[in-house]
Amino acid sequence: MNDQISSGKGFFDGNPKQMFVFGVVTGMVIVLLLNNFAGFTGISLAAGNANGNGRTPTVVNTAGTGDTGDTGGAPVANLPAVQKDEHIRGDLSKAKVVMIEYSDFQCPFCERHHPTLQKIADDYGDQIAWVYRQFPLTSIHPNAMPAALASECASEQGKFWEFADAMFAGQTANLEGDAATATAFETATAKNLGLNMSKYNDCVSSKKYQAVVDGDQSGGEAAGVNGTPATFINGTMVSGAVPYATLKQMVDSAIAKK
């Protein structure tokens, strides 16, 4: 060591084996520092981005920021089978594609996704059956659960889809407000749809369909849903609010396999 110093050699002129070890250790330290920085700032260094609710999905596909999502993959094994008493737009007996959506009435990305699914359903007619399931994200959307329960009460009187369409159409102005504003909007919607208001009010105040909403949510969680919207095309998940063309491609592919 003394010879090395006296000869004027620097640290990086040392033994090659020592330099290799030094390089490996330095690289590990840099990676650890980057990961710690990422954890501190909330940045993900892994592939994939956050879902529409701000969480990073760990399901079949990884969504973008709620605007776009990745598609493909194998059908989800734990997805609950569709029951005839669910919210179904279309005819299950004729449909070549069953489109199951887990959604939240206060979720802004669900609001953006809803017209896309409406267009798919309209364009494909009897080839599509659209199933709506409740998945209110109560930790970040305080008005989502009351809206879900109100929609079930509307369903009791045969007006689920009309009520759901109205919730998304008026979401920004009403469900993004305080609880009183949201409740007044739901009540006004029920009146506009011609519901029996005494029956509707009793249903809402008693939380009559809490078990139905909870059942939808637990079923979705079992299938890997952890954010909204989450849409299954013949069992394959699409996570996030995706463009019409993306869904159309999946639907066309599913129809071609029939």
Q: Where are the domains of the chain?
A: 2-41, 87-256
CB atoms within 10 A of CB 19: 13
Indicate the SS3 state at residue 106: coil
Q: What stretch of H or E contains 113?
A: helix 108-124
pLDDT of residue 220: 97
Instruction: List, in order, residues 6 or more apart from 237 with CB less than 8 Å away.
Output: 59, 60, 61, 73, 76, 223, 224, 225, 230, 231
pLDDT of residue 258: 80
Bridge partners of 98, per DSSP, are: 129
What stretches in the chain show pLDDT beneath 70? 1-74
Q: Which residues of 158-184 are buried (b: 16+ CB within 10 A; e: fewer)?
A: ebbbbbbebbbebbeebbeeeeeebbe
pLDDT of residue 54: 28
pLDDT of residue 176: 92
pLDDT of residue 232: 97
DSSP category for residue 74? P
pLDDT of residue 80: 95
pLDDT of residue 29: 46
pLDDT of residue 153: 98
Query: What is the Cα–Cα distance from 147 to 190, expressed in whole angstroms?
Result: 11
Q: What is the CATH number of domain 87-256?
A: 3.40.30.10
